């Protein structure tokens, strides 16, 4: 099984790129973030033509998450206890043997900003939800745009980003509390080195200069670790015309 996560930054704009990438990469499950679409406008028919069933939780203009799969996702959850949140940032569903939780983590804007406090509170509520999900579903996959670079290997210029939003210690500790539920950052099962990024700012030629961060993650439960075969960051779509600022990330599981 090949699973993937991609922040598409507007599914309306990126639909042709998504279908091209689906045809080339042939993933079995795909988590999307920043669809920026109301559910009534979700391109269900176009994705069905590409061979994917879809479940989604969207809103106008901002946020929005979706899970695509070869078979119909089951037991869909869009709202979790303790988060009465109009922002559509979380979507859980069962696909085949997997429990899949798609996250579009709050960006946070800047350390100390009210949005940063919302980010940390949001992550704690999500951690509580994931703890319960993991108890019920050992084959748990938690993936998406985490808006946190786990450590300095995931940052092009750690000095410049020191204690800034996406890299601050409280954010990294919030992520660590989630991985301590027994959820491994699958990319690091295969690649220990620095300099592998999944997001590059649109400005100042950041992609061309590889000035990026690795903030798009696929976490897997301990029970899935023996099945992990390969993890990639596919930079190719970031080179296309009018790209998302994020690259798709993938994990191959022998399951």
- Contact present, 5 and 249 (Cβ < 8 Å): yes
115 touches DNA by CB under 7 A = yes
Q: How far apart are CA 208 and CA 210, in angstroms?
A: 6
Q: How far is CA 135 from CA 33, 92, 217, 221, 238, in A?
A: 25, 15, 21, 10, 37
Instruction: Look at residue 117 and give its three-state secondary structure.
Output: helix
179 touches DNA by CB under 7 A = no
Closest to 15 (Cα-Cα) out of 38, 58, 47: 47
Catalytic residue chosen out of the listed positions 104, 156, 185, 196 = 104
Kind of pairing between the strands at 2-7 and 29-33? parallel
* Stretch of 181-189, 201-209, 217-225, 229-237 contacting DNA, by CB under 7 A: 201-209
Active site annotation includes 145: yes
Binding residues for DNA restricted to 225-254, rule: CB under 7 A: 242
Minimum Å gap between C-beta 14 and DNA is 7
- Other CB atoms within a 10 A radius of the CB of residue 111 amount to 16
Radius of gyration of the chain from Cα atoms?
Answer: 17
203 touches DNA by CB under 7 A = yes
Q: How far apart are CA 96 and CA 88, in angstroms?
A: 24
- 63 labeled part of a ligand binding site: no
Q: How far apart are CA 162 and CA 156, in angstroms?
A: 11
Binding residues for DNA restricted to 29-48, rule: CB under 7 A: 36
Minimum Å gap between C-beta 98 and DNA is 27
Minimum Å gap between C-beta 231 and DNA is 23
202 touches DNA by CB under 7 A = yes
Minimum Å gap between C-beta 35 and DNA is 9
Q: How far is CA 48 from CA 44, 45, 72, 142, 208, in A?
A: 6, 5, 11, 24, 34
Nearer to DNA, 38 or 151 (CB): 38
Of the candidate residues 16, 23, 48, 62, the single one contacting DNA (CB under 7 A): 62
Active site residues: 104, 145, 246
Binding-site residues from annotation for Mg(2+): 7, 34, 145, 147, 245-246
Binding-site residues from annotation: 7, 34, 145, 147, 245-246
Which residues lie near DNA (CB under 7 A)?
A: 9-10, 12-13, 36, 60-62, 106-107, 109, 115, 147, 202-204, 242
């Amino acid at each position: 099984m090949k699973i993937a996560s991609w922040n598409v930054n507007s599914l309306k704009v990126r639909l042709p790129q998504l279908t091209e990438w689906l045809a080339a990469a042939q993933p079995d499950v795909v988590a999307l973030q920043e669809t920026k679409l109301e559910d009534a406008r979700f391109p269900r028919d176009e994705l069905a033509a590409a061979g994917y069933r879809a479940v989604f939780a969207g809103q106008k203009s901002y946020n929005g998450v979706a899970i695509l799969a070869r078979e119909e996702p089951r037991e869909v959850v869009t709202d979790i206890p303790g988060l009465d949140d109009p922002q559509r940032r979380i979507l859980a569903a069962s696909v085949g043997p997997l429990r899949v939780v798609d996250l579009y983590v709050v960006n946070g804007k800047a350390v100390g900003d009210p949005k940063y406090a919302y980010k940390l509170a949001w992550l704690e509520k999500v951690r509580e939800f994931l703890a319960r999900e993991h108890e019920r579903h050992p084959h748990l996959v938690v993936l998406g745009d985490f808006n946190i670079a786990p450590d300095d290997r995931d940052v092009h210029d750690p000095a410049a980003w020191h204690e800034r939003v996406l890299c601050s210690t409280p954010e990294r500790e919030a992520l660590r509390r989630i991985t301590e539920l027994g959820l491994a950052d699958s990319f690091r099962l295969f690649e220990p080195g620095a300099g592998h990024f999944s997001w590059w700012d649109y400005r100042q030629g950041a992609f061309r200069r590889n000035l990026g961060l690795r903030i798009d993650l696929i976490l897997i439960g301990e029970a899935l670790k023996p099945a992990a075969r390969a993890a990639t960051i596919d930079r190719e779509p970031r080179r296309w015309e009018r790209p998302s600022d994020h690259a798709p990330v993938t994990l191959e599981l022998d399951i």
